Structure 1
Amino acid sequence: MNLLIKDVHLEDNPDSTDLRIAEGYFTEIGPGLEPAPGETVVPGGGRLVLPPIIESHVHLDSAMTAGQPRWNASGTLFEGIEVWSERKRDLTVADVKERVNRAVRQQARFGVQYVRTHVDVTDPGLTALRALLELREELADFVTLQLVAFPQEGIESYPNGRDLMREAASMGVDVIGAIPHFEFTREYSVSSLRYAVDLALEFDLLVDVHCDETDDEASRGLETLATLAYENQMGARVTASHTTAMHSYNNAYVNRLMRVLTLSGINFVSNPLVNTHLQARTDTYPKRRGVTRVKELTEAGLNVSFGQDDIVDPWNPLGTGNLRDVVFNGLHVTQMMGHQQIVDSYRFITHNAARTLNLSDYGIEVGHSADFVIFDAPSWYEALSFNAPVVGSYRGGRLIARTEPVEHEVLF
Structure 2
Amino acid sequence: MHIINARLRHRSELFELKIENGIFVGIDVQQGHIEATDVHIDAGGKLACAPFIEPHIHLDAALTAGEPAWNESGTLFEGIERWGERKPMLSEADIRTRVYKTLNLLINNGVQFVRTHADTSDPSLVGLKTLCALRDELKDRIDIQVVAFPQEGLLSYPGGEKLMEEALEIGADVVGGIPHFEYTRELGVASMKRVIELALKYDRLVDVHCDEIDDPNSRFLEVLACEALFNDMGSRVTASHTVAMHSYDNAYCSKLFRLLKKSNINFISCPTESIHLQGRFDTYPKRRGVTRVKELNEAGINVCFAEDSIFDPWYSLGNGRLLRTLDFGLHICQMMGHKDFSQALDLVTDNSARTLSIEAGYGIEVGKPASFNLLEGEDDYSVLRNQGDVLLSVRKGEVIMQREPSKVVTPP
TM interval, short-chain normalised:
over 0.9
Name the residue aligned to 1:186. Answer: 185
Whether 1:375 aligns to 2:371 is no
1:317 aligned partner: 316
SS in 1 for 2:369: coil
Q: Distance in 2 between matches of 1:81 and 1:182?
A: 10
**Separation (CA, whole Å) in 1 of partners of 2:316 and 2:185:** 31
Show the counterpart of 2:75.
76
Residue in 1 aligned with 2:362? 362
In structure 2, the residue matched to 1:329 is: 328
1:218-249: per-residue Cα shift (whole Å, max 9, x none)? 00000000000000000000000000000000
Distance 1:337 1:50 in 2: 21
Matches within 5 A, 1:251-290: 251-290=250-289
The structural deviation recorded for 1:26 is: 0.3
Distance apart, 1:408 and its partner CA: 4.4
Change (3 A) 1:11 1:159: same
Query: 2: CA distance between counterparts of 1:85 and 1:24?
Result: 43
Q: What letter corresponds to residue 204 of structure 1 in structure 2?
A: D
Measure, in 1, the Cα distance between the counterparts of 2:227 and 2:218.
17
Give the length in aligned residue pairs.
Answer: 408
CA contact (8 A) 2:13 2:30 kept: no
Structure 2 runs not aligned, ≥5 long: none
How many angstroms does 1:386 deviate by? 1.6
Shift of 1:376: 2.3
Deviations 1:246-277 (A, max 9, x none): 00001111111111111101000000000000
CA distance in 2 between partners of 1:340 and 1:193 (Å): 36
Q: Does 1:20 align with 2:18?
A: yes
Alignment map for 1:1-16 (pairs within 5 Å): 3-16=1-14
Per the TM alignment, residue 32 of structure 1 is displaced from its structure 2 partner at its CA by 2.7
Partner amino acid, structure 2, of 1:377? G
Partner of 1:29: 27
Which amino acid letter does the alignment assign opposite residue 60 of structure 1? L
SS of structure 1 residue aligned to 2:10: coil
Q: Distance in 2 between matches of 1:14 and 1:71?
A: 49
Paired residue type of 1:15? E
Offset, 1:325: 0.8
Return the offset for 1:39.
8.1
What 5-or-longer segments of structure 1 have no aligned partner? Answer: none
Query: Residue 351 of structure 1 aligns with which residue?
Result: 350
Residue in structure 2 matched with residue 385 of structure 1 by the alignment? 385
The one-letter code of the counterpart of 1:365 is E
Superposition pairs of residues 9-408 of structure 1, within 5 angstroms: 9-32=7-30, 40-359=39-358, 360-408=360-408
3-state SS, counterpart of residue 43 of structure 2: strand
Amino acid at match of 1:9: R
Give RMSD over aligned pairs. 1.5
1:301-322, Cα deviation, whole Å (9 max, x unpaired):
1100110000000011000011
Percent of paired sites with the same residue: 50
Q: Is the 8 A contact 2:267 2:304 kept in 1?
A: yes
Aligned to 1:57, the other structure's residue is in SS state strand
Tell me if structure 2 keeps the 8 A contact 1:120–1:129: yes
**Corresponding letter in the other structure for 2:395:** R
String of CA shifts for 1:76-134, please: whole Å, max 9, x gaps: 11000000011011100111011011100100111000000011110000010111011
Contact conserved, 1:109 with 1:403, CA < 8 A, in 2?
A: no
Please report how far the alpha carbon of residue 411 of structure 1 lies from its aligned counterpart in structure 2 after TM superposition. Answer: 8.9
8 Å contact from structure 1 (residues 209, 240) kept in 2: yes
CA positional deviation for 1:12: 2.4
What is the CA–CA distance in structure 1 between the aligned matches of 2:407 and 2:51, rounded to whole Å?
24
Task: Work out the CA distance in 1 between the residues paired with 2:189 and 2:344.
Answer: 34
Tell me how far 1:410 sits from its aligned partner: 8.4
User: Contact conserved, 1:212 with 1:219, CA < 8 A, in 2?
Assistant: yes
The separation in 1 between residues aligned to 2:259 and 2:283, in whole angstroms, is 33
Work out whether residues 375 and 383 of structure 2, in 8 Å CA contact, stay in contact via their aligned partners in 1.
yes
* Residue 409 of structure 1: how far off its partner (Å): 3.5
Cα offset for 1:402? 1.5
Tell whether the 8 Å contact from 1:118 to 1:148 is kept in structure 2 after alignment. Answer: yes
* Corresponding letter in the other structure for 2:13: D
Per-residue deviation at 1:380? Answer: 2.2
The structural deviation recorded for 1:299 is 1.2
Structure 1 distance, partners of 2:12, 2:79, is 45
2-structure distance, mates of 1:403, 1:82: 40
Q: Per the alignment, in what secondary structure is the counterpart of residue 155 of structure 1?
A: coil
For residues 12 and 108 of structure 1, what CA distance do their matches in structure 2 show?
Answer: 25
Shift of 1:378: 1.9
Q: Deviations over 1:156-201 (max 9, x none)?
A: 1101000000000111111000000000000110111111110010
